[in-house]
């Protein structure tokens, strides 16, 4: 991976649910052309791993990973299919051990202070904050920055183009996850130009109050 941190690849991590494997490559190309080269393909559909393989093989410049990772078996399958990173909505010791042994970057999900402390205790400093809006949003993350400044987050869940800048302005947020740049009607119409334009808009956002 070109960056030392998944959180630094782009201000926004597109969270993609692919229903038709034929959409994977053109969708990923549109996102990359718009400036969002890190792409999370969620394991929510039967074609997810097929889509991941296609993107990894055919889309130049993409750093494609897998989201909604729930089991050690999924960790193994995802890495074998070409995943460049792993994202989970939560974590257990077994899942964390599998992700740590996978050889690729990973973001275990947290929603409480105790979970953050437990991960820091295990040497993990980069995490997914999920579900961001429901779990307290920017106010919660701002409160964590004081006592736990070493933890960095990719908040995901309920974030859109209007709220993303508020998250990205926080010192402990490296990027945000979202799907607003991949509207379902645009995917259904295979309107890749629209998705590229929305991705380009998202890519202009900045993290930590700095310009990209």
User: Are 174 and 206 contacting, i.e. CB atoms less than 8 angstroms apart?
Assistant: no
Give residue for tokens 């690849």.
9
Partners of residue 97 on adjacent β-strands: none
DSSP string, 98-125: HHHTSSS-EE-EE-SHHHHHHHHHTT--
- For the chain, the residue count is 212
* Closest by Cα among 46, 40, 1, 39 to 19: 46
- If one counts every other C-beta atom within 10 angstroms of the C-beta of residue 25, the result is 16
- Bond prior to 56 in cis (omega within 30° of 0): no
Residue 93 has which token pair?
């010791």
- As annotated, the active-site residues are 40, 128
With b meaning 16 or more CB within 10 Å and e meaning fewer, what string describes 33-46? bbbbbbbbbbbebe
Q: Among residues 100, 91, 93, 97, which one has the least CA distance to residue 68?
A: 91
């Amino acid at each position: 991976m070109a960056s030392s941190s998944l959180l630094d690849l782009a201000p926004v991590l597109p969270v993609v649910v692919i229903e038709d494997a034929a959409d994977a490559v053109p969708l990923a190309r549109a996102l990359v052309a718009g400036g969002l080269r890190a792409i999370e393909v969620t394991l929510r559909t039967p074609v997810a791993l097929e889509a991941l393989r296609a993107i990894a093989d055919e889309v130049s410049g993409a750093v494609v990973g897998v989201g909604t990772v729930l089991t050690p078996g999924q960790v193994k399958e995802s890495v074998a299919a070409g995943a460049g990173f792993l994202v989970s909505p939560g974590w257990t010791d077994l899942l964390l051990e599998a992700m740590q042994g996978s050889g690729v970057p990973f973001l275990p999900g947290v929603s409480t202070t105790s979970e953050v402390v437990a991960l820091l205790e295990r040497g993990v400093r980069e995490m997914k904050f999920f579900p961001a809006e429901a779990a307290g949003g920017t106010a919660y993350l701002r409160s964590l920055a004081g006592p736990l400044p070493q933890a960095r987050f990719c908040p995901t869940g309920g974030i859109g183009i209007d709220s993303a800048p508020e998250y990205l302005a926080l010192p402990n947020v490296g990027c945000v996850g979202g799907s607003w740049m991949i509207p379902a009607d645009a995917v259904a119409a295979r309107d890749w130009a629209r998705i590229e334009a929305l991705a380009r808009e998202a890519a202009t956002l900045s993290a930590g109050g700095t310009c990209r």
